[in-house]
Chains A and B, each alone.
Chain A
C-alpha cells in the first residue's frame, strides 16, 4: 500500500485520542542531534475543527485482535486497515520534524498479532529514531497492555512520555465492553511505569550519567459516558492514579458514538459539558488540595452541570463561609470560588501590610464577581444578595451561562489548548 494511504488511515484512526495535548519538556536536545523538547509547547497548525496540531499522532497499525465495543478499530468493525513499518514511522517523523510541521511523535497502536509483537514494533521504531536518526525531539509512546514489561521498560528509556489508556473507569465496564483488554491487564504496566519513574528519579540523583526513564511522566485517558460510572467513581479513580501510579495527567474524553453496539448507550451527542466538569474537578485535585471524597459524596454522584465543582462544593459546605479574607489561611482562601493560587497568594502578602477592604482587593485586580458571595472583608459582606444557598446558586448559574455563551465556540476544545491558555 502507498505510504500516503497508510498515513491517512492511521492518522484518522488515532485522532480521537486526546491524551497527548501537550508535549512536556524533558530537557533532551544538546545540539548534537536533531531537535529538542520545549517546555511551553508549540502548536504548528490548527485543524478545520479548531484543534491544535502539535504532534504527528498516528497508530502503528489498526489491525486489531480485540473487540472493544467503543472503538472504531475493533476486529468486528468493517473498515480500511493498514500497518506501518518501524522505518516508515521513523522516517516520516524526521521528515516532518525537519520541516517544522511538528513538535514530535505520538505513537499508539492497536494490538496486532500479539501484545509482545506489537510492543516490539513500537520499541524498534523509537530505537531507530533515537539511534539511527539521532532524533532528539519529543516522543510520546503508548505502552501495550499485556506486553512483556521488559519491552515497555526498554522503550521507556528512549521516550519522553508514556501512557496506557484505561479507557473505562471500572473493572465491570472493562469486562463488559473490552473483555480481552481487561485480561491483558491495564493497571499492571501503569504501576510498573510509575515505579520505574520513581526509581529513576532517585537513581539520577545518585548517578548523574544515568539515562532518563519517561522523563515527561505518564498519562492515561478515560472515556466518559460510554459506561454507567458516576463522576464520583471517575474522580476517585483519578485520585488513586495520581497518588499511587505517579501519573502526570489523566485525560477525559467525552464518548463520541462511533459504533452501533447494543452494549453502548445511545447518546444525543458527546457529553462535552460533563467532560468539562471532570477537567475542572481534576484541576482541583491537582492544584487546590481537594480530595475526591470532598467534591462528591455517596448520594451526590455527579457534578452539577450548571455551576462548577468548586462552587458546588462551597454551596454544599456553606457553614464554612463566608471566609474572612484578613484571617483565613491560604488553603482556605484557595477554596473560595473565584480565587485561584495567584489571588490567594496576593491576598496573603498584601494583608501583612494592612487590613484589606473590598476596594483594596479590586485595586489588586482580584476578580470578585464570584468570590463576593463567599467572603467578608473586615466582617463586611458585600454581595447584594442574602447569604442563602439557593439565591447564590442561581446567581452563579446565571454568570456561568453568560460566560459559556461567550466562549461557546471554543469550550469543547479547551482541553487541548491547555498549554496555550496557561501562560
Chain B
C-alpha cells in the first residue's frame, strides 16, 4: 500500500441524520472526497485509510440543508433524507456523489438518470416513501389497558419519523405509541402536549390490552372475511399489494374468507 492511500479518508459519523449532514458539510467545505462515509456501528478498524471522526453539529447540519434547498432543490433534500432512512450500505457515498453533481447542475440533478448514484438515491428514497405510504394503511393500533393505543411494526426501513406526522394529524385526540421492533425504537404521542417524540424502546415491551380489545378485533376479522367476493378470489393481487412480511402485525387473517359461510 502506498502512502497515497493513507491520504484518503474514511469519515465516521454517529449514525444520525444530522451527523451525516455534518459529515457532508465538512467534506464539501474542505473540498475533500472521502473514500467511505460510515456510521460508527458499521465501522470496522481500517488499516489502510486514515479515519476522521465527525462530531455532529446541529447548526452545520441545518445550514447545509438550507444550501441544498437553495442551490439544488427541495426535492433533492427530500430524496437525501428518505434515502438515508433506507439504511442501505454505501448510501452515504451515493448521497455524496449525488450532491456533488447537484451543486454543479442544480435542480436538474434528478434528470441525470444515466448516473448510477442519481438512480440509487432516487430508488432508495422511493422505496422508503413507498413503504411509509403502505404502512399508513397497514399499521394496526390496539387499545391497551388505560386507554392508550399501541402498534407494533417491523418495517424494512426506518420509517417511523415519516409516519409520525400522519398519525398525529389523524389521531390527535388519542395517546399512542408506534413501536418499531426491529430498531427497538418508538414514536410516542401525547394528546395533551400534541407532540410526538422518538424514543428507544426495547423489543420485549408489550402493553397489556384493554378488555374490549379482543371483542373489536373479532369484529374486524369477521368483517374482513365477509367482504371478499368468493368467486373472484385473487390471492396474488392481495399479496402484491399487501406483502406477506406485513401480515404478522395485522389483525385480520388474509385467506380467511375461504372458511367463511354466512348461512
Chain A residues packing against B (C-beta within 8 Å): 3-4, 7-9, 11-12, 14-16, 29, 31-36, 42-53, 56-57, 79-80, 92, 95-96, 98-101, 134, 409-410, 412-413, 420
B171 touches A45 (CB 8 A): no
Chain B residues packing against A (C-beta within 8 Å): 133, 136-143, 149, 151, 167, 169-174, 194, 216, 218-220, 222-224, 226-230, 232-238, 241-242, 250-252, 254-258, 262-263
Q: A351–B240 Cα gap in the complex (Å)?
A: 40
Closest A residue to B255 using CB positions = A48
Our pick among A11, A12, A49, A99 for the contact of B251 (Cβ within 8 Å) is A99
In the A-B complex, list the 4 residue pairs whose CB atoms are closest, starting with the nearest: A50-B237, A50-B234, A31-B172, A47-B228
Q: A50–B234 Cα gap in the complex (Å)?
A: 5
Q: A8–B234 Cα gap in the complex (Å)?
A: 21
Q: Which residues on the B side are within 8 Å of A4 (C-beta)?
A: 218-219, 222
A3 touches B224 (CB 8 A): no
The 29 sampled A-B contact pairs (Cβ below 8 Å) are A12-B227, A12-B262, A31-B169, A42-B136, A45-B224, A45-B250, A46-B241, A47-B224, A47-B228, A48-B254, A49-B228, A49-B232, A50-B234, A51-B228, A57-B227, A95-B216, A95-B219, A96-B223, A98-B174, A99-B140, A99-B142, A99-B143, A99-B149, A100-B139, A100-B167, A100-B170, A100-B171, A413-B234, A420-B241
Q: A410–B241 Cα gap in the complex (Å)?
A: 11
Q: A283–B110 Cα gap in the complex (Å)?
A: 31
Interface-centre pick from B174, B223, B224, B232 (highest chain A CB count, 10 A): B223
Our pick among A15, A46, A96, A409 for the contact of B229 (Cβ within 8 Å) is A15
A7 in contact with B226 given A45-B137, A47-B238, A99-B142 (CB within 8 Å):
yes
Q: Which residues on the B side are within 8 Å of A44 (C-beta)?
A: 137-138
Q: Which residues on the A side are within 8 Å of B228 (C-beta)?
A: 15, 47-49, 51
Closest B residue to A269 using CB positions = B231
Q: Which residues on the B side are within 8 Å of A47 (C-beta)?
A: 224, 227-229, 238, 257
Q: Which residues on the B side are within 8 Å of A52 (C-beta)?
A: 241
Tally of contacts, chain A with chain B, CB under 8 A: 141
Our pick among A7, A49, A420 for the contact of B234 (Cβ within 8 Å) is A49
Q: Which residues on the B side are within 8 Å of A31 (C-beta)?
A: 169, 172-173, 194
B227 touches A99 (CB 8 A): no
Closest B residue to A49 using CB positions = B232
B235 touches A50 (CB 8 A): yes
Q: Which residues on the A side are within 8 Å of B172 (C-beta)?
A: 31-32
A7 in contact with B232 given A12-B227, A31-B169, A47-B227 (CB within 8 Å):
no
Q: Which residues on the A side are within 8 Å of B255 (C-beta)?
A: 48
Our pick among B141, B218, B230, B237 for the contact of A98 (Cβ within 8 Å) is B141
B222 touches A99 (CB 8 A): no
Q: How far does the Cβ of A29 sit from chain B's closest Cβ, in whole Å?
A: 7
Interface-centre pick from A29, A32, A100 (highest chain B CB count, 10 A): A100
B237 touches A410 (CB 8 A): yes
B227 touches A11 (CB 8 A): yes
Closest A residue to B224 using CB positions = A45
B262 touches A80 (CB 8 A): yes
Closest A residue to B262 using CB positions = A12
Interface-centre pick from A8, A29, A50 (highest chain B CB count, 10 A): A50
Interface-centre pick from A42, A43, A99 (highest chain B CB count, 10 A): A99
B263 touches A80 (CB 8 A): yes
Q: Which residues on the A side are within 8 Å of B258 (C-beta)?
A: 48
Q: A53–B252 Cα gap in the complex (Å)?
A: 12
Q: Which residues on the B side are within 8 Å of A413 (C-beta)?
A: 234, 237
Q: How far does the Cβ of A225 sit from chain B's closest Cβ, in whole Å?
A: 16
Q: How far does the Cβ of A198 sit from chain B's closest Cβ, in whole Å?
A: 30
Q: A42–B166 Cα gap in the complex (Å)?
A: 12
A15 touches B226 (CB 8 A): yes
Q: A36–B170 Cα gap in the complex (Å)?
A: 5
Q: How far does the Cβ of A2 sit from chain B's closest Cβ, in whole Å?
A: 10
A92 touches B236 (CB 8 A): no
With A8-B226, A50-B236, A413-B237 given, can you name 7 additional A-B contacts, CB distance below 8 Å? A8-B262, A43-B137, A45-B224, A48-B254, A48-B257, A49-B238, A101-B140
Closest A residue to B172 using CB positions = A31
Closest B residue to A423 using CB positions = B133
Q: Which residues on the B side are within 8 Å of A14 (C-beta)?
A: 227
A34 touches B173 (CB 8 A): yes
B262 touches A9 (CB 8 A): yes
Q: How far does the Cβ of A19 sit from chain B's closest Cβ, in whole Å?
A: 15
Q: A8–B222 Cα gap in the complex (Å)?
A: 6
Q: A378–B242 Cα gap in the complex (Å)?
A: 48
Q: Which residues on the A side are within 8 Å of B141 (C-beta)?
A: 98-100
Q: How far does the Cβ of B223 sit from chain A's closest Cβ, in whole Å?
A: 5
Q: A95–B213 Cα gap in the complex (Å)?
A: 9
Q: A80–B173 Cα gap in the complex (Å)?
A: 39
Our pick among B167, B227, B233 for the contact of A53 (Cβ within 8 Å) is B227
Closest A residue to B139 using CB positions = A100
Q: A123–B133 Cα gap in the complex (Å)?
A: 33
Q: A29–B167 Cα gap in the complex (Å)?
A: 12
Q: Which residues on the B side are within 8 Å of A49 (C-beta)?
A: 228-230, 232-234, 238, 257
